[in-house]
Amino acid sequence: MPVMDTYAPGTFCWADLGSPDAAAAKRFYTTLFGWTAEDRPMGPDTFYTMLTLDGRSVAALYQQEPAPAGTPPQWLSYISVGSVNESAQRAKELGGSVLMDPFDVLDVGRMAMVQDPTGAVVALWEPRRHVGAGLAGEPNAICWNELATTDTGRAGAFYTSLFGWDTETLPMGNETYTTFVDSGGPRGGMTAIPPDRGPVPPHWRIYFAVADCDGQTTLAQSLGGAVRFPPTEAAGVGRYAVLSDPLGADFAVIQLFPAAERTTG
């Protein structure tokens, strides 16, 4: 399965979780996915915990600063870019907002945090010493990133212009699923938030590949997690579920069909 040493610009490359209880989050995810945790000092009594699988980084987590009441913790997806400064400026020109101005992260890279015109947040990453996850697309590693938004037209125009992506759509039941693609292949997905879902804010969701969706869902529950959407088959793709950790951060797991049996992504 893919060992990653570089990411082309416009490719999702990393993810981290800010949690109000980093110790509890660490216990949950290391048990759920078999990850090893390595705390790296960021300052006095603060750490950035690298989560690794087979000696290669797959994601990270850290202690979240106090957030406004009612704000749940959330996984943050990172997209590799050639220049964070240029991409952040372009995001503003396209109607997005820069929530965190470009800054250097020691000597490992340069980042910014942007919000698309519909409200979803994503990070821009200009790699230096850290290119991103060392493993992707295999069980217990990130395999997909998906945008849920209230305005697919506006969001699609923003991301295709910002990253040079194209879009492909196909029907999924009564809905339409959009895949962002470029010359390197599929980059991410997009779905519309149904009006009957209530006030769900637009967001990017991370999918972790697993060998057994139902088994992983049961394990997550036993560890104090919750099931937001039960295991369900996505035709031509795999069997997936949407879960949350004990602190409330959402993520998805998916048991992918063999590549020869897939019809998308």
pLDDT in tens, the chain (265 residues): 478 889 999 999 999 999 999 999 999 999 999 999 999 988 777 899 999 999 999 999 999 877 655 667 999 999 999 999 999 999 999 999 999 999 999 899 999 999 999 999 999 999 999 999 999 999 999 999 999 999 999 999 999 999 999 999 988 777 889 999 998 899 999 999 988 777 889 999 999 999 999 999 999 999 999 999 999 998 888 999 999 999 999 999 999 988 655 555 4
Q: What pLDDT does 1 receive?
A: 47
Q: Are 216 and 253 in contact (CB under 8 A)?
A: yes
Q: SS3 of 113, please?
A: strand
Could you tell me the pTM of the whole model?
0.94
Nearest to 212 by CA among 264, 254, 245: 254
Distance (Å, rounded) from C-alpha 161 to C-alpha 164? 5
Annotate 76-88 with b (16+ C-beta within 10 A) or e (fewer): bbbbbbeebeebb
CA 32 – CA 38 distance, rounded (Å): 16
Residue 263, pLDDT score: 57
Q: Which domains does the chain have, with CATH numbers?
A: 12-127 (3.10.180.10), 142-261 (3.10.180.10)
What residues does 17 pair with on adjacent strands?
61, 75
CB atoms within 10 A of CB 241: 21
Candidates 215, 218, 231, 75; CA nearest to 144 is 75
Query: Hey, what are 231's tokens?
Result: 């295991």
